[in-house]
């Protein structure tokens, strides 16, 4: 049976998904156009028709994976609750969990960015958006009197820098720090940036509540294929 003919947008989406999966499996630096083509059973020329170079394919795939997580971050930060609760949820979600596949992809991207200008610009812009989203909610909470923070942008930079560094330790160096300790440090850092005691970050307990696991997801987790 022949392959189903896809629209330009559908083909591009398929190629980006395959590129993210191959980057996760092989690493950014080791990725070849041929790997993506072989994964889909198409020609190298088709991949190059859509992206022109490997560098552009890598940058587009990285953006494709990251934008889904950025959308989820904005959803968390837009909830109808206090700024403090939204920030706590975002920090807990930001941290690596499980196999942390997405975090490995970020680390690979950071390593390759100095040598690949197109990827460098993409990672820089995506990182700016993460920090800006968190800074905006910090500013909102400070303006509402929930906590005190004179420099929301600087606070967001310091906080995400700590989380990024902890992610490298957790992902690259097994046993360097436990996930529980990393979460403790992240909570302490958030409280410190907001001029609060760490106890203020504890969610309110309600009668009948069972122990709950915070909603978590590794940053930039590769998108799943559909069941079809």
Interhelix angle 8-26/33-40, rounded to 10 degrees, is: 120
CA pair distance 146, 177, nearest whole angstrom: 32
The span from the CA of 126 to the CA of 114, in Å, is 15
Helices (H), 30-151: 33-40, 44-51, 54-77, 83-94, 101-112, 117-143
Kindly state the average pLDDT of the residues 2-24.
84
Taking residue 75's Cβ as centre, other Cβ atoms within 10 Å add up to: 9
**Weakest-pLDDT range from 95-109, 134-148, 181-195:** 95-109
Asked whether residue 18 carries a pLDDT value surpassing 50, the answer given is yes
Residue 3 has pLDDT above 70, yes or no: no
For the record, the structure tokens of 4 come out as 């189903």
Q: 8-12, 40-44, 95-99: which has the minimum mean pLDDT?
A: 95-99
Indicate the pLDDT class of residue 32, thresholds 50, 70 and 90. very high
> For residue 114, is pLDDT > 70?
yes
Q: Give the global pTM.
A: 0.77
Return the sign of the alpha-carbon dihedral for residues 185, 190, 195, 201.
Answer: negative
At 156-203, the pLDDT tens digits run: 999 999 999 988 888 888 888 888 888 899 999 999 999 999 888 876
Residue 216: its pLDDT value, please?
A: 41
pLDDT surpasses 70 at 226: no
With a cut of 50, say whether residue 141 has pLDDT above it.
Answer: yes
Question: Which of these, 96, 90, 69, 66, lies nearest to 171 by C-alpha position?
Answer: 96
Give the chain's length.
Answer: 228
Cα-based distances in Å from 123 to 94, 114, 156, 174, 213: 16, 11, 17, 25, 30
Percent of the chain whose predicted confidence (pLDDT) is above 70: 84
State residue 214's pLDDT score. Answer: 43
């Amino acid at each position: 049976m022949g392959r189903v003919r896809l629209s330009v947008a559908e083909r591009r989406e398929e190629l980006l998904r395959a590129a993210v999966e191959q980057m996760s499996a092989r690493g950014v630096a080791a990725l070849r156009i041929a790997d993506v083509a072989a994964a889909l059973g198409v020609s190298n020329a088709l991949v190059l028709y859509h992206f022109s170079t490997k560098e552009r394919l890598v940058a587009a795939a990285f953006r494709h994976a990251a934008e889904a997580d950025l959308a989820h971050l904005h959803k968390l930060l837009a909830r109808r609750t206090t700024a403090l609760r939204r920030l706590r949820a975002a920090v807990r979600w930001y941290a690596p969990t499980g196999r942390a596949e997405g975090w490995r992809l970020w680390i690979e991207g950071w390593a390759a960015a100095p040598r690949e200008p197109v990827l460098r610009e993409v990672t820089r812009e995506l990182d700016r958006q993460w920090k800006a989203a968190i800074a905006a909610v910090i500013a909102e909470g400070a303006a509402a009197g929930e906590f005190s923070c004179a420099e929301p942008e600087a606070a967001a930079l310091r906080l995400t820098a700590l989380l990024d560094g902890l992610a490298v330790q957790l992902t690259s160096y097994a046993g360097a720090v436990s996930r529980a300790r990393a979460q403790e440090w992240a909570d302490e850092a958030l409280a410190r940036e907001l001029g609060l005691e760490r106890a203020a970050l504890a969610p309110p307990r309600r009668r009948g509540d069972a122990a709950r696991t915070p909603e978590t997801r590794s940053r930039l987790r590769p998108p799943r294929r559909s069941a079809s």
